[in-house]
């Protein structure tokens, strides 16, 4: 039984059954590309006019949901360049950041090109000045790290992480994998997301239903008590 402190109690079997149904031919027609599998959480009891009830959560999943690693960029004054190269992630120097001032088209392109950003903490003011207006609305502001610190563990965590946001509507969704992953791995990833969101909700809030769907597929909903639609 999956239990969250926001008035939802649902069996693992019910979640697994819904996932299998979402992946079935009835709900998921064959496509010419590998579809993502998404989880949708419908919420109630939140007042989104209150800042403390809006949130973005970075959730590390048990299994990477990506077929190809997410794109990561490191902002560094130089000390993190060797490790960034060895980890296969891109980097930008302080000089490169400063050259972006006033170049909105380039800044917008950078904000769209990467899933996650890491930055040496002293560079955060420069990043805020150059890229803040583009990264902030996308919830992609960099994760600050001390200069010359190792980023290998952080990069590995990000390669298994998804971002889920509750800001403008009483629902949240994110990728939990792709249609060729084993159902058990998708299920474990889903449970991680549900638990993470549950921890962020106030006691007055409720998860109305949990839904699963592929990119182009139909949603399968699991309501409290295990009923489906």
pLDDT band at 9 (very low <50, low <70, confident <90, very high): low
Element (H, E) at 4: strand 2-4
pLDDT at 62 over 90: yes
pLDDT band at 209 (very low <50, low <70, confident <90, very high): very high
pLDDT at 48 over 70: yes
Give the start-to-end residue ranges of the domains of the chain: 2-63+172-223, 72-158
The fold of 72-158 is Rossmann fold (3.40.50)
pLDDT at 7 over 80: no
Domains 2-63+172-223 and 72-158 share a fold: no
Q: What is the pLDDT of residue 6?
A: 42
Q: What is the pLDDT of residue 229?
A: 56
Q: Averaged over 34-45, what is the pLDDT?
A: 94
pLDDT tens column, 63-80: 999 999 999 999 999 999
- Residue 74's nearest CA partner among 114, 130, 133, 112 is 114
- Asked if 40 contacts 211 with a C-beta cutoff of 8 angstroms, the reply is yes
Q: Averaged over 79-93, what is the pLDDT?
A: 97
Rounded to a whole number, what is the largest CA-CA distance in the chain? Answer: 56
Distance from C-alpha of 229 to C-alpha of 219, rounded to nearest angstrom: 8
| CATH number for the domain formed by residue range(s) 2-63+172-223 | 3.30.190.20
Q: Averaged over 82-106, what is the pLDDT?
A: 96
Strands 8-10 and 55-60: unpaired
Average pLDDT, the chain: 91
């Amino acid at each position: 039984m999956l239990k969250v402190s926001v008035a939802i109690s649902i069996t693992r079997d019910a979640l697994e059954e819904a996932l299998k149904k979402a992946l079935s031919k009835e709900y998921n027609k064959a496509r010419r590309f590998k579809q993502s599998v998404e989880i949708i959480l419908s919420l109630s009891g939140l007042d989104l006019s209150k800042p403390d009830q809006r949130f973005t959560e970075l959730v590390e999943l048990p299994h990477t949901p990506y077929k190809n690693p997410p794109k990561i960029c490191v902002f560094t004054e130089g000390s993190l360049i060797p490790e960034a190269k060895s980890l296969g992630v891109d980097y930008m120097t302080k000089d490169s950041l400063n050259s972006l001032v006033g170049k909105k088209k380039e800044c917008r392109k950078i904000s769209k090109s990467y899933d996650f950003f890491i930055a040496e903490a002293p560079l955060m003011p420069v990043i805020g000045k150059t890229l803040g207006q583009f990264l902030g609305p996308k919830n992609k502001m960099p994760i600050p790290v001390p200069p010359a610190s190792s980023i290998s563990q952080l990069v590995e965590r990000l390669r298994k992480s998804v971002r889920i946001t509750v800001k403008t509507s009483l629902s949240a969704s994110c990728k939990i994998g792709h249609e060729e992953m084993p159902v058990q791995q998708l299920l474990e990833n889903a449970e991680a997301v549900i638990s993470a969101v549950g921890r962020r909700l106030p006691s007055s809030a409720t998860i109305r239903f949990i839904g699963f769907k592929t990119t182009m597929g139909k949603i399968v909903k699991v309501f409290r008590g295990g009923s489906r639609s």
